[in-house]
Each structure stands twice: as structure tokens, then as C-alpha cells.
Structure 1
Amino acid sequence: MSARIPPVVGADLWQAAIAAAAGRCQCRGACGKSHAKAGSRCGREHGGYQQHHGGGTVRLLVAPADPANLLMSPHRTAALPKQALAAWCPACHDAALTAARRTARAADPPAPDALFDI
């Protein structure tokens, strides 16, 4: 694994979560992919090269491990203990976040506009 470059804020928590993940994305299918080629866990490593999604260097981020908690506000997420956090590659995080939003919208449909009630 290459050198870990922490974010400006929350570096200690980020480093602890990345170390617990051994520098590898911890997605096990929340993004909608089976990750079958990598043993059912995403194979992207921090500092590694990604062949898809524009290529370039993989920079893991730390977010709630439970995909349902990805919709939490940033200040509530920052208050989570490190055991509730996981390392995510950007592609898996974005796909899991989109799925969480879709699930939340389906569970709580918007109320009709009162302007047109008769």
C-alpha cells in the first residue's frame, strides 16, 4: 500500500479507519456490485490505480459503514465512533449513497402540493 495522505480535518480518525480497513475499500455490495473478482469485497486500495471511472489514483474516504447512515448530516457523521465507520472508494460510496437516497425517497414519498387541493 502506498503512503496514506490524510484529509486536512479529522486526520486521526481517517487514519484509524483506513488502517482498520488495511487500506482497501470495505464495500461488500452496497454499491450494487457483487465484487466477485475480489472475493466479495471491493478490490480498490488507497493510492492504487483505478482502471475505470476515468482512471487515476484511488483516494479512499471514510463514511458510515451502514449504507442507511450515509444520509446523515456531516456533523452527526463526524460524531460516530470509528467502529461505525468504513473506508469507501469514491465509486462505491457514490453508488451506495444513490441507493440510500432512492430507498429513502421510496419510503417517504413527497406530500402533494396543497395549492391544488379542492
Structure 2
Amino acid sequence: MNGRTPPLGDNGLWAAVLAGAAGRCQCRGTCGKTHDKNGGRCPATHGAYARHGTGPVHLLAAPANPDGLLMPAHRAAALPKRELAAWCPACHDATRHRARAARQSSAPAAGPDALF
């Protein structure tokens, strides 16, 4: 497998998203890291090694909006290219975790049970 092998079931959208991102993760700090050393953008490049001792990075095409990362997979798969971004797995997972935590903290507290 090389750095240009698309995921199974790719209909060309993944390749278009990666081409638009120049093969690089498009995270600009939503994961919690500032990425200061790299102009504010994650340095992870598709097919390259992120750190010594890890395998190559395989970028994902996923919703660009952090809240969109919480939508069901079947809805995310139907999004057009303009609403997608290239994410490395580390930034994707961290951003999704932060979005989920923000949603839970902003959810209204459950009131007393109306039956009792």
C-alpha cells in the first residue's frame, strides 16, 4: 500500500478532498493544539510518518465543521466536498472529543422527573 491508495468504496470524493488540502491535514487548532510551528496548520501529510515508531498517516475526509463530526456516519457520507476537510486521525479524534464534551456541557440539566 502506498500513500496514494484510496480507502475502500471511494467514489473520488476522498481523493478530491485530499487534493484540495494538498495531502495535508487541515486542522487549525480545533484539536486543542496550536500547531504554531507549522503556521497554525497541522503538519501531518498523507502517507508520511508523523513520529518515529508510528506507521504512515492516513488522512480522512470528514466534516470540516467540528460539530459535524458528531453527526451519524450516513449523514456525513452524504456531505458535498465543500463541507469536508482532510483530517489526520489524531486531530480528527481530538476535535470530535472536544465537540462532544462541548455539546454535553451546554446541554440543559435534567429537571426533576414529572411523575414524582
Q: Tell me the TM-score normalised to structure 1 length.
A: 0.88
The alignment status of 1:68 with 2:67, answered yes or no, reads: yes
Q: Aligned-pair distance for 1:110?
A: 6.0
- 1:28-85 CA distance string (max 9 Å, x none): 0000000001110000000000117x62110101100011111011111111110100
CA distance in 2: counterparts of 1:7 and 1:110, whole angstroms: 41
Structure number with the higher helix fraction is: 1
Aligned Cα RMSD in Å?
2.0
Q: Which runs of 5+ in 1 are unaligned?
A: none
Q: Which runs of 4+ in 1 moved over 4 A?
A: none
Q: Which residue in the other structure is 2:94 paired with?
A: 95
CA distance in 2: counterparts of 1:31 and 1:67, whole angstroms: 9
The AA in structure 1 aligned to 2:101 is R
Q: In 1, are the aligned partners of 2:26 and 2:87 still within 8 Å (CA)?
A: yes
Q: Which residue in the other structure is 2:28 paired with?
A: 28
Q: Which runs of 5+ in 2 are unaligned?
A: none
Identity of aligned residues (%): 54
CA distance in 1: counterparts of 2:61 and 2:50, whole angstroms: 18
Q: Which residue in the other structure is 2:56 paired with?
A: 57
3-state DSSP of counterpart to 1:92? helix
Corresponding residue pairs, total: 115
Q: Which residue in the other structure is 2:16 paired with?
A: 16
